[in-house]
Amino acid sequence: MLRDKEKLRESIIKKTKEIRNLGEHARKGSDHLSYRSIIYFKIKKIKKVKGQEKECFEVTCKYKVYTLTEFTHPPEMDEFFTEHYLDKFILDEEYKILDVKKIK
């Protein structure tokens, strides 16, 4: 069983940074800067599943990604710059991510 919740969280967030293109960006052409980061992260469910060779785990996570731009906007516009996700990550017992299923 995946007992180390912090290690599980770190592994999933690392993969999320890759698949959701988090970090600093410069827009092509205009060079406007933006920074994408996770502002909310929750592990919703952990389920044991049968892998091809060994036991695996399906972990459902809900998270939000916020895009901060160099342009200011009022706080009531924050939701416009926030993306909501629900994904399933398939991991082995060593916390290695084998697959990602984007749900929403």
Q: Put residue 10 in one of left, alpha, beta given phi > 0 → left and psi -120 to 50 → alpha.
A: alpha
Mean pLDDT computed over every residue of the chain: 90
Return the percentage of the chain with pLDDT > 70, whole number.
97
Provide the pLDDT confidence category of residue 61 given band limits of 50, 70 and 90: very high
Give the separation between CA 91 and CA 67, rounded to whole angstroms.
28
Q: Domain segments of the chain: what residues?
A: 5-102
pLDDT in tens, 18-55: 999 999 987 766 778 889 999 999 999 999 998 777 88
Q: Put residue 12 in one of left, alpha, beta given phi > 0 → left and psi -120 to 50 → alpha.
A: alpha
Query: What pLDDT is recorded for position 75?
Result: 83
Query: What pLDDT is recorded for position 72?
Result: 75
Q: In what helix (H) or strand (E) does residue 19 lie, and over which residues does it extend?
A: helix 5-19
pTM, rounded to two decimals: 0.85
Give the separation between CA 71 and CA 54, rounded to whole angstroms.
49
Give the separation between CA 93 and CA 65, rounded to whole angstroms.
27
